[in-house]
Amino acid sequence: MSSIKTVLVVGALFLTTLVPALRADEISNMNADIVKVRSQWETLKFTVRPGDKQTTLMNQLGQDADQLASKYPDHAEALIWDGIITSERASMASTFSALTLAKRARDILQKAYELNPKALDAGAPTSLAVLYYRVPGFPLGFGDTKKARALLEEAVQTAPESLDAEYFYGDFLYEQEEYPQAQAVLQQALKIPPNPDRPLWDHNRRLVIEQLIGKIKAKA
């Protein structure tokens, strides 16, 4: 084995030892904690009217999500949900604090991506991409459409059955005024089988996709 290969193998083994393995009961507990946070996010996102109440409740949920990430700092699944909820808080925040929250979400999701870009149906690259195409670019923010495109293309290739990956890729293409491509991606998203474990999210996501397809057809 060459010296370079030896270094790479030893380095990979060293990194593996840095991530503590969870016992079966700990994994079960982590998954239950994630489902709890996810379900609360879905309820706030889709059943509470936008406004001060929703913002307050989402900020409170953000504390639970931060605790989740602190409890499982080496597991992408926990970090992804902390990043998603921090991103949601950024979208609801005042201009003064929105960018700070967005940067924090980016850093959380970047760590999740480095841990496991495939976790939760490519949740990290999908959520990172949303930040990169919705946050303003330099000098106001860190937005970057090239990074967003690359991450979304990776996400849909990694998780072709992910409703979120397909939706946000289609939404990105719509924002770039690539309407035929956006419509094709969004129509493909609607072919993905419904998720029986997340009916509230699944129903509302499909409604948004159908509305976006309608906007595209109106431009034709």
pLDDT digits (tens, 9 = 90+) for 76-105: 999 999 999 999 999 999 988 999 999 999
> Is residue 166 predicted with pLDDT exceeding 70?
yes
> Is residue 120 predicted with pLDDT exceeding 70?
yes
**Residue 116, CB-side half-sphere exposure with 13 Å CA sphere:** 15
Residue where a domain stops, chosen among 98, 121, 151: 151
- Is position 13 within any domain? no
Looking at the structure, tell me whether residues 144 and 118 fall in a common domain: yes
> Is residue 54 predicted with pLDDT exceeding 70?
yes
> Is residue 22 predicted with pLDDT exceeding 80?
no
Alpha-carbon torsion 106, 108, 112, 118, what sign? negative
> Is residue 17 predicted with pLDDT exceeding 70?
no
Question: How far apart, in whole angstroms, are the C-alpha atoms of residue 149 and residue 165?
Answer: 11
Name the residue range of residue 183's domain. 160-220
Query: How many domains, the chain?
Result: 2
- Is position 168 within any domain? yes
Q: In whole numbers, what is the pLDDT of the chain averaged over residues?
A: 91
- Is position 70 within any domain? yes
Looking at the structure, tell me whether residues 117 and 48 fall in a common domain: yes
> Is residue 4 predicted with pLDDT exceeding 50?
no
pLDDT at 210: 98
> Is residue 13 predicted with pLDDT exceeding 80?
no
Residue 219: band (very low, low, confident or very high) from pLDDT cuts 50, 70, 90: confident
Region 64-70 average pLDDT? 98
* Cis geometry, peptide bond prior to residue 199 (ω within 30 degrees of 0): no
User: pTM value?
Assistant: 0.88
Residue where a domain stops, chosen among 151, 172, 194: 151
Question: How far apart, in whole angstroms, are the C-alpha atoms of residue 145 and residue 35?
Answer: 31
pLDDT at 1: 39
Looking at the structure, tell me whether residues 136 and 164 fall in a common domain: no
Residue 20: band (very low, low, confident or very high) from pLDDT cuts 50, 70, 90: low
Region 12-26 average pLDDT? 54
pLDDT at 217: 95
Looking at the structure, tell me whether residues 80 and 169 fall in a common domain: no
Q: 50 Cβ partners below 8 Å, 6+ apart?
A: 92
